């Protein structure tokens, strides 16, 4: 029996991932290069120590101004994100989960300040009974600890949790934790190689939460 739903954040609730990749690839193209999804896809949903600007230097064979390009990357990203709201169906799922009496948690490989600030700006923060981020664990996704800690915080067993993820690393973490997992890939993650999951949605707006839970059960 599903007693809790646990959401990822980046790319699942708020599409930071598509905008981040598009900004980076734009910068790469301006320097006569490309950022392949085969490279970038491996670091989505985790913290792999990958430095995109160092990779760009390696591709073009010359030094670049990291400070200048980091600022340019941040400014362009913020400009793209300022008019973004939650992804389709997210708020409806949160509302439906609350009405159904399900516990609601969040598990993110990003830090708490990043997640909480955006959730508050999106007016979604109060839906979550528990938020676990990179600040709470030694290893982030695809390690299962974030999800196990979220379940523990919510007072439920892993097998009673339904996770919503958009990335391959996140989905692997959820399944390693022994939880149900539904993937809702975005434009950047839709072609990644996912592990075996319980269901795939094009959007949370495509099916109501209670119908999805019935399919999984």
Share of the chain above pLDDT 90, in %: 87
Quick check: is 143 catalytic? no
Q: Which domain holds residue 178?
A: 4-15+86-216
Let me know whether 37 and 143 are in one domain.
Answer: no
pLDDT in tens, 28-45: 999 999 999 888 888 887
Let me know whether 22 and 105 are in one domain.
Answer: no
pLDDT at site 129: 98
> Which is higher by pLDDT, 57 or 43?
57
Q: Which residues contact 84 (CB under 8 A, 6 or more apart)?
A: 14, 15, 19
Active-site residue identified among 8, 15, 143, 166: 8
Share of the chain above pLDDT 70, in %: 100
Q: Tell me, what CATH number does 199's domain have? A: 3.40.50.1000
**DSSP, residue by residue, 98-126:** HHTT-EEEEE-SS-HHHHHHHHHHTT-GG
Q: Which residues contact 16 (CB under 8 A, 6 or more apart)?
A: 10, 77, 81, 118
Number of domains forming the structure of the chain: 2
Confidence of residue 62 (pLDDT cuts 50, 70, 90): very high
Active-site residue identified among 10, 15, 143, 166: 10
pLDDT at 183 over 90: yes
pLDDT in tens, 81-135: 888 999 999 999 999 999 999 999 999 999 999 999 999 999 999 999 999 999 9
Quick check: is 8 catalytic? yes
pLDDT at 48 over 80: no
Let me know whether 72 and 139 are in one domain.
Answer: no
């Amino acid at each position: 029996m599903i007693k809790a739903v646990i959401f990822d954040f980046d790319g699942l609730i708020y599409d930071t991932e598509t905008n981040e990749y598009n900004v980076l690839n734009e910068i790469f193209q301006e320097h006569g290069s490309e950022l392949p999804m085969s490279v970038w896809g491996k670091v989505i949903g985790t913290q792999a120590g990958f430095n995109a600007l160092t990779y760009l230097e390696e591709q073009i064979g010359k030094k670049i101004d990291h400070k200048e390009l980091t600022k340019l990357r941040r400014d362009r990203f913020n400009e793209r994100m300022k008019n973004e709201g939650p992804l389709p169906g997210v708020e409806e799922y949160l509302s439906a989960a609350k009405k159904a009496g399900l516990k609601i948690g969040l598990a993110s490989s990003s830090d708490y300040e990043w997640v909480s600030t955006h959730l508050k700006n999106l007016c979604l923060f109060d839906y979550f009974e528990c938020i676990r981020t990179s600040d709470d664990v030694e290893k982030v996704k695809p390690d299962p600890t974030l999800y196990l800690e979220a379940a523990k915080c919510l007072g439920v067993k892993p097998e009673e949790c339904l996770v919503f993820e958009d990335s391959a690393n996140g989905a692997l973490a959820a399944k390693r934790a022994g939880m149900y997992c539904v993937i809702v890939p975005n434009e950047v993650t839709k072609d990644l190689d996912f592990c075996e999951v319980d269901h795939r949605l094009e959007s949370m707006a495509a099916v109501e939460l209670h119908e999805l839970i019935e399919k999984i059960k």
